[in-house]
Amino acid sequence: LGEGPAGDDVSDPLVRTFLQRQRRLEELGRRRERSLGQRLGRFLAKKYELFRRSALMTLISLRNLALGRPPLEQLAREVAWATRRDAGDAEDAERRPEL
């Protein structure tokens, strides 16, 4: 009786939304419990990745302006490489939009 569903295989959208909200609240609680050093490290890592992606996308765009657009497959590989995702940041990867 006191057990929840056996996994995330819930078909009811209301229950699925509730479970997602609960996961977000739990993650928020875990983040608040982290030390100042851990929070600073995460902040710097996120800013580094943002700067890296911005610089790479700018270089890709400038190259495309100067030399013309490459084949779509090559462009997709370059954008995917510029938008790499770290394995340790899995919770943020779910919220980021795909390009």
CA distance 5 to 26: 18
Statement: residue 14 has pLDDT above 80: yes
φ, ψ for residue 81 (rounded to 5)? -70, -40
Q: Which tokens in the block code for residue 13?
A: 């959208």
Q: Are 78 and 60 in contact (CB under 8 A)?
A: yes
Higher pLDDT, 9 or 35: 35
Per-residue pLDDT band for 31 (boundaries 50, 70, 90) equals confident
Sequence-ordered list of residues with C-beta below 8 angstroms from that of 57, at least 6 positions apart, any chain: 79, 82
Sequence-ordered list of residues with C-beta below 8 angstroms from that of 75, at least 6 positions apart, any chain: 60, 64, 69
| pTM metric for this prediction | 0.56
pLDDT tens across 38-67, in order? Answer: 989 999 999 999 999 999 999 999 999 999
Higher pLDDT, 77 or 1: 77
